[in-house]
Amino acid sequence: MTAAQAPGQQAFVTLNGNLKTEAWWVIADFQPFTTEVRGIPASQIRKSWCKATEFRKDLIPKELMFENGADAMKGAGMSFAIEGRFDGGATKQIAVVGVFQECAGQKGRFMLVLDQPDGEKPRIRFVDAVRTNRQFAALSKGKGGKLVLWGCMECDGYSVLKWDRKKNRFGWEPQAEEP
C-alpha cells in the first residue's frame, strides 16, 4: 500500500493492491479533501456533495506519475485539466476531472466544463459525475476539438464529449470511432 499526503490532510491517494500485477490507476482510491473546485463550492456542483477535489499531478506521488523518468500522462497525451473553446464560442473554457464525496459518504469521479470569463468567477457549463470505487479519470483532446474522458491510462475505456449546436449543449457521442 502506498499513500500520498495532501498538505495537512489524510492521504489523497491510497493503493489497494499489488503494483507488480496491477496498474496504479486501477487500484487507486482517492480521498477528496477540498470543499470547492476552481472556486465553486462542491454543493453548488451537486447538492449531495460535501467534498470535491480536482486531480492534480502534485497530489499524486511522482513514482506513480513518472515511468523511467518520463511523465506517463504527458506521453499518453492526457491531462487532468484542458483549456479550450469547446463550444466554439468566444469564452475560454476549462475541462477538469476529479473525485467527489457525497455528504452520505459515497464517492465517485467527476468531469466539469467551466466557462472562464475574464475577471469573473468560473461558471459551470457541464457536469458528469459517476459513483464508483475506481475514481481515476483523465482528459485528452479528440478530433475536431472534442473532449475525451478516460477511465484509465492504457485502455479503451473512454467517452467523447462534444458540443451539439442544434441542442445548444454538450453531449456524449456514441462510442464508434477512435478519439
Distance CA 36, CA 13 (A): 18
| HEC secondary structure over 117-172 | CCCCCCEEEEEEEEECCCCCCEEEECHHHCEEEECCCCCCCEEEEEEECCCCEEEE
What pLDDT was estimated at residue 176?
57
Query: Rounded to an integer, what distance in angstroms lies between the CA atom of residue 7 and that of residue 40?
Result: 21
pLDDT tens for residues 165-177? 999 999 999 875 5
Work out the mean pLDDT of the chain and round it to a whole number.
90
pLDDT at 179 over 80: no
Residues contacting residue 101 through CB under 8 Å, at least 6 positions apart:
31, 32, 49, 50, 51, 52, 107
If one compares 128 and 63, the residue with the highest pLDDT of the two is 128
- Share of the chain residues as helix, strand and coil, in percent rounded to the nearest 5: 10, 45, 45
Q: Map out the domains of the chain as residue ranges.
A: 3-58+78-172
* CA distance linking residue 26 with residue 153, whole number of Å: 9
Confidence of residue 78 (pLDDT cuts 50, 70, 90): very high
Helix (H) or strand (E) holding 65, with range, is helix 62-65
What integer is the mean pLDDT of 19-23?
Answer: 91
pLDDT for residue 97 is more than 50: yes
Percent of the chain whose pLDDT exceeds 90: 68
